[in-house]
Amino acid sequence: MLAPAVEALRAGELVVLPTDTVYGLAAHPDFPAAIARVYAVKERPAEKALPLLVTGAAQAATVVRVSPLAERLMARFWPGGLTLVLPTLAGDGTLAVRMPDHPVPLALIAALGAPLATTSANRSGQPSCTTAADVLAQLPAGYAVLVDAGPSPGGQDSTVLDLTSDPARVLRAGAITTEALAAVVRIAG
């Protein structure tokens, strides 16, 4: 079922897939042209970086600096709806990472042997899609494969937490509440 999606990603094509939160538009992060097509298909502003979906803390540590605080948050909220913004390994910027709680993206990442550069599969500024039909209504073209595995169970975008500042900042409220995060980390008011 996922072989065509893996082949498409390896060929630099885009794939739409369900996650535990909403449907996502994904590209292999090693293909700059594919990343550019994500922005074009979604009509996403260029200043908004694409987060990476990973299989866990170990894979995250191959692309970002995982602090003890990040480890605690990953242990508490991963897999799940928490995206963490962390410094890159090279120290030249930041990158957002998340481990989804859904078998489809986890299987694709494992088969690909690389994280997925992913954003919600909707037109920028429009509601996020929770079904394949929703995706087709907003984004009828621009990708090679649409993996329809039923509705996304969460139905809400992930919470994005920036750990590069102290206190941490919630950049987007979502699936994980600020109250739940505040039990683990100091949050900017």
Q: For residue 169, give the DSSP letter.
A: E
Q: Encode pLDDT of 144-178 as tens digits.
A: 999 999 999 999 999 999 999 999 999 999 999 99
Q: Per-domain residue ranges for the chain? A: 1-55+99-156, 60-96+158-189
Residue with tokens 């948050």: 73
Q: Encode pLDDT of 45-56 as tens digits.
A: 999 999 999 999
Q: Which residue type does 40 have?
A: A
Query: Coil, helix or strand for 182?
Result: helix
pTM confidence score: 0.96
Q: Which of these CATH numbers, 3.30.70.100, 3.90.870.10, 3.30.470.10, 3.30.70.520, describes 1-55+99-156? A: 3.90.870.10
